[in-house]
Amino acid sequence: MKRIAILGSTGSIGRSTLNIVENYPERFQVTSLAAGSNVDAAVEQAQRWKPRVLSLTSEKNAHTLRARLQSAGVSGIEIAHGAAGNVRVATHPEVDFVVSAIVGVAGLEATYEAVKAGKTVGLANKECLVAAGELITAEARRQGNPLLPIDSEHNAVHQCLRGGRMEEVERIWLTASGGPFLHTPKAKFAALTVAEALNHPTWKMGRRITIDSATLMNKGFEVIEACRLFNLPPSSVDVIVHPQSTIHSMVEFVDGSILAQFSVTDMRLPILYALTYPERVKSDLRFPVSDLRHLDFRPPDMDKFPCLRLAYEAAEAGGAKPIALNAADEVAVAAFLEGGIRFSNIPEIIENVLLETRTQKIESIGQVLETDAAARQTALRHVERRSSKPPLPHAASAIWQGE
Ligand code: MG
């Protein structure tokens, strides 16, 4: 029986994970949950899963949850809150496996502490590897525990890498759908609306990641994630636009063989893979192979999508730059979603923040958070300079987006 902690249990990855636990009751048990700020969903999850610990973002929410569980006659659940609550959820002594799915830097510390406590971690949170990848992967190596990627591309690469040894890898091919603006001329980018940018062709995802897919920044983050997870230089990680999103990614070996992974576009599959690794277990997630017709591939246009170029540069520089890249992107995307800046301002703001961030080696999570906060302030200044709206108070601090 694997005992599971979920950081971000009310978000889409969290709910998919609980769906898997539901379908494999003989394999998995829920031990602890970090549920964000959605009290209604937390009450439901507490009643359904009876975790040992349940954590919410704020003390006020934790208080409301406690009162509601008491009046519902649910007892025996430790209610925690805030960053310490996330750490408690991630490091509970009975937990074997931690699903890290809190969007934003809010999940960083808890994920790092889970790795330090010797837990096996399934990573769905991008910031863990983008902002703190060097620290977290070094600690996982020290502990001798695998970090299992839940992001579909990295999960695909992880699967393909089982076909050879690391020293036999020539390169990784990360596939990108190209987003909704693959065929939109760059001249139109300044006038793109939020609704157009939120209309992703393949995946239904959260708002920030959908905008990140439209700018290709999401793919840029994935390049950094791949470099950290698989310990490869950026020059060995290639992005290839594949509009059908059928192939989730590929690994090319030194002999010229290329292994690709494809399956239904359902996040439950990478979650199941991570939860059961190194085993594979039976599922009903079948791909209709005989329906396959066209697979198109083309190189990405880095001139049209400068976010991807900026991410490669940050990956190469390492240290403080990827942290600034992520923080600046979060602030710029939030400003775009609120209608304050144009779509084409997003890469401009990020580039300016990167230029103003000193190359610096990062040695602790505290330093990651400081660098993140400083980059957010810089980004806000650049937003305000361009914005048609008043400043965004909440974008200055890390926000919980797990619903
Ligand atoms: Mg992905």
Q: How far is the CA of 177 from the centre of ligand 1 (A)?
A: 10
Task: Please report which confidence band the pLDDT of residue 21 belongs to, taking 50, 70 and 90 as the band edges.
Answer: very high
SS3 for 74?
A: coil
The pLDDT value recorded for residue 401 is 35
Confidence (pLDDT) at 390:
64
Domain limit, last residue, from 104, 132, 150? 150
226 assigned to some structural domain: yes
Question: What is the whole-number distance in angstroms between the Cα of residue 267 and the centre of ligand 1?
Answer: 10
Cα of 151 to ligand 1 centre, how many Å? 5
Q: Does 200 lie in the same domain as 113?
A: no
Ligand 1 center from residue 80 Cα (angstroms): 31
CA distance 245 to 47: 37
**What is the percent of the chain with per-residue pLDDT over 70, rounded to a whole number?**
96
- Which residues are within 8 A (CB) of 212 and not within 5 positions of it... i.e. 6 or more apart? 218, 221, 307, 329, 333
> Which of 112, 132, 150 delimits the end of a domain?
150
pLDDT digits (tens, 9 = 90+) for 156-190: 999 999 999 999 999 999 999 999 999 999 999 99
Longest dimension (CA), the chain: 65
Smallest CA-to-CA distance from 9 within 50, 56, 47, 52 is with: 56
Length of the chain: 403
Same domain membership, residue 185 and residue 133: no
CA of 76 to the centre of ligand 1 (A): 38
Distance of CA 332 to the CA centre of its chain: 18
What does the pLDDT look like over 102-125, one tens digit per residue?
987 889 999 999 999 999 999 998
In a domain, 230, yes or no: yes
Same domain for 123 and 242? no
CB 195 within 8 A of CB 337: no
* Interval between CA 198 and ligand 1 midpoint (Å): 16
* DSSP secondary structure, 246-257, as one string: -EEEEEEETTS-
**Same domain membership, residue 347 and residue 242:** yes
CA of residue 153 to ligand 1 center, whole Å: 5
CATH assignment at residue 69: 3.40.50.720
Cα(27) to centroid(ligand 1), Å: 27
So what's the pLDDT on residue 203?
Answer: 63
pLDDT at 399: 41
Question: CA distances (Å), 296 to each of 226, 244, 292, 299, 301, in order?
Answer: 23, 7, 12, 11, 15
Centre of ligand 1 to C-alpha 150, Å, is 9
Bond prior to 300 in cis (omega within 30° of 0): no
Within this chain, do residues 51 and 131 fall inside the same structural domain, yes or no? yes
**Based on the domain organization, do 126 and 185 belong to the same domain?**
no
- Cα 162 to Cα 42, 97, 182, 344: the distances in Å are 38, 21, 32, 40
Residues 316 and 252 in one domain: yes
CA of 222 to the centre of ligand 1 (A): 7
Residues 200 and 78 in one domain: no
Cα separation of 396 and 335, whole Å? 11
If you measure from the C-alpha of residue 158 to the centroid of ligand 1, how many angstroms do you get, rounded to a whole number?
13
Quote the number of domains for the chain: 2
Overall average pLDDT of the 383-400 stretch: 64
CA of 116 to the centre of ligand 1 (A): 26
Residue 209 pLDDT class (50, 70, 90 cuts): confident
For residue 293, tell me if it sits in a domain. no
In what helix (H) or strand (E) does residue 126 lie, and over which residues does it extend? helix 126-143
pLDDT tops 80 at residue 216: yes
Q: Based on the domain organization, do 144 and 256 belong to the same domain?
A: no
DSSP state letters, 253-286: ETTS-EEEEE--S-THHHHHHHHHTT-----S--
Region of poorest pLDDT, from 142-151, 191-200, 253-262 = 191-200
Please compute the mean of the pLDDT values over residues 360-365 and round it to a whole number: 92
Boundaries of domain holding 342: 178-260+306-386
- Beta-carbon neighbour count of residue 207 at 10 Å? 14
Answer yes or no: is 393 within a domain.
Answer: no
Q: Could you tell me if residue 7 is inside a domain?
A: yes
Clarify whether residues 106 and 191 are in a common domain. no
Please report, as a single letter, which amino acid is at residue 197.
A
List all residues 6 or more positions away from 342 whose beta carbon is below 8 Å from its beta carbon.
Answer: 189, 190, 191, 192, 336, 386
Query: Is residue 168 helix, strand or coil?
Result: helix
**Are 27 and 129 found together in one domain?**
yes
C-alpha–C-alpha distance, residues 64 and 233, integer Å: 48
**106 and 212, same domain (yes or no):** no
172 and 219 Cβ atoms separated by less than 8 Å: no
Query: Ligand 1 centre and the CA of 123: distance in Å?
Result: 12
> Which residues, at least 6 apart from 322, have a Cβ–Cβ distance to it below 8 Å?
130, 131, 133, 224, 311, 314, 315
Write out the two tokens for 226. Answer: 């791949």
Residues bordering ligand 1, an ion, CB closer than 5 Å = 151-153
Distance 79 CA to ligand 1 centre (A): 32
Distance 130 CA to ligand 1 centre (A): 13
- 366 Cα: distance to centroid of ligand 1 (angstroms): 27
For 312-337, what is the mean pLDDT? 97
The overall pTM is greater than 0.85: yes
Query: Looking at residue 239, which CATH number applies to its domain?
Result: 1.10.1740.10
Instruction: Examine residue 157 and state whether it is found in any structural domain, yes or no.
Output: no
The tens digit of pLDDT for each residue in 270-310 reads 999 999 999 999 999 999 999 898 999 999 999 999 999 99
SS3 53: strand
Residue 283 lies in a domain: no
pLDDT for the residue 400: 37
Q: How far is the CA of 185 from the centre of ligand 1 (A)?
A: 24
Q: Is 146 within the bounds of a domain?
A: yes
- Structure token digits, residue 162: 């089982």
Give the distance (Å) from ligand 1 centre to CA of residue 229: 14
CA 189 / ligand 1 centre spacing (Å) = 23
Looking at residue 126, what is its pLDDT? Answer: 87
